């Protein structure tokens, strides 16, 4: 068990854009969100598909797609609209 406490780290404020990839959208500064892809467009693969699922770090299955909305991220925090939050460090080096 870790012996770290909240006092073990020097905490400071940060701006979302300083630690996350952002873009200027219709509502100002935004972070990227998931894209909708029909299940029939997925091919079984080794790329984890993150969903709103609240178990297994949100990983629902492992797939690939040629759909224009298909994206692969590493080292990111996923936040589902159902409230699940998970950190995804790095996955397998993908074979696409």
Q: What is the per-residue pLDDT across 71-81, written as a single tens digit (0 to 9) for each?
A: 888 888 888 88
Q: Tens digit of pLDDT for each residue in 9-41?
A: 899 999 888 888 889 999 898 887 878 899 999
Which range among 6-10, 57-61, 87-91 shows the weakest confidence by mean pLDDT?
87-91
All structural domains of the chain with their residue ranges: 6-88
Mean pLDDT of all residues belonging to the chain: 86
Contact 87, 73 (CB under 8 A): no
Identify the sign of the CA torsion 95, 78, 75, 31: positive
Report pLDDT for 34. 78
Mean pLDDT of 61-85: 89
């Amino acid at each position: 068990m870790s012996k770290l406490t909240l006092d073990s780290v020097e905490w400071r404020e940060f701006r979302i854009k300083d630690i996350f990839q952002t873009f200027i959208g219709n509502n100002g500064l935004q972070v990227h969100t998931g894209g909708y892809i029909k299940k029939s467009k997925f091919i079984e693969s080794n790329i984890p598909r993150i969903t709103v699922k609240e178990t297994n770090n949100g990983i629902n299955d492992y797939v690939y797609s040629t759909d224009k909305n298909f994206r692969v991220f590493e080292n990111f925090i996923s936040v589902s609209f159902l409230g699940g939050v998970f950190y995804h460090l790095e996955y397998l080096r993908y074979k696409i």
